[in-house]
Amino acid sequence: MSDSKTKPNNPTYMLTDEQHQAAHARTMRHEEESKAIYRIEAAGATRREAQDIVWAGCDTEDAIEMIEQGKTKDEIINALKKNDEGEHFTL
């Protein structure tokens, strides 16, 4: 297919069902993460603090409640780690 007359102008790329489902799942996780970061920011945390809290795997509702009580990012992450019955998160 070295002849330009035989090459398609707009080649199509096909994804398998598994690739499509994996890409959709990643998109949905990213969307939910973005929503959680925005909600924590709206409660009074900085963008970076909100990201750290979400990326640590903390529950958004609990984190918002603690922010409203005046807790710091580190206090929130440490307190919510203790409540996760032995699950450990790293930043």
Instruction: Determine contact, residues 58/67, Cβ cutoff 8 Å.
Output: no
C-alpha dist (Å) from residue 70 to 1, 11, 63, 65: 66, 55, 11, 9
Which range is least confidently modeled, 10-14, 29-33, 71-75?
10-14
Instruction: Supply the mean pLDDT for the chain.
Output: 84
Q: Which pLDDT score, from 0 to 100, does residue 4 have?
A: 60
Instruction: Determine contact, residues 80/54, Cβ cutoff 8 Å.
Output: no
* For range 46-59, the mean pLDDT: 93
More confident residue, 91 or 62: 62
C-alpha dist (Å) from residue 26 to 69, 79, 89: 33, 28, 20
Best mean pLDDT range from 10-14, 19-23, 38-42: 38-42
Instruction: Determine contact, residues 89/78, Cβ cutoff 8 Å.
Output: no
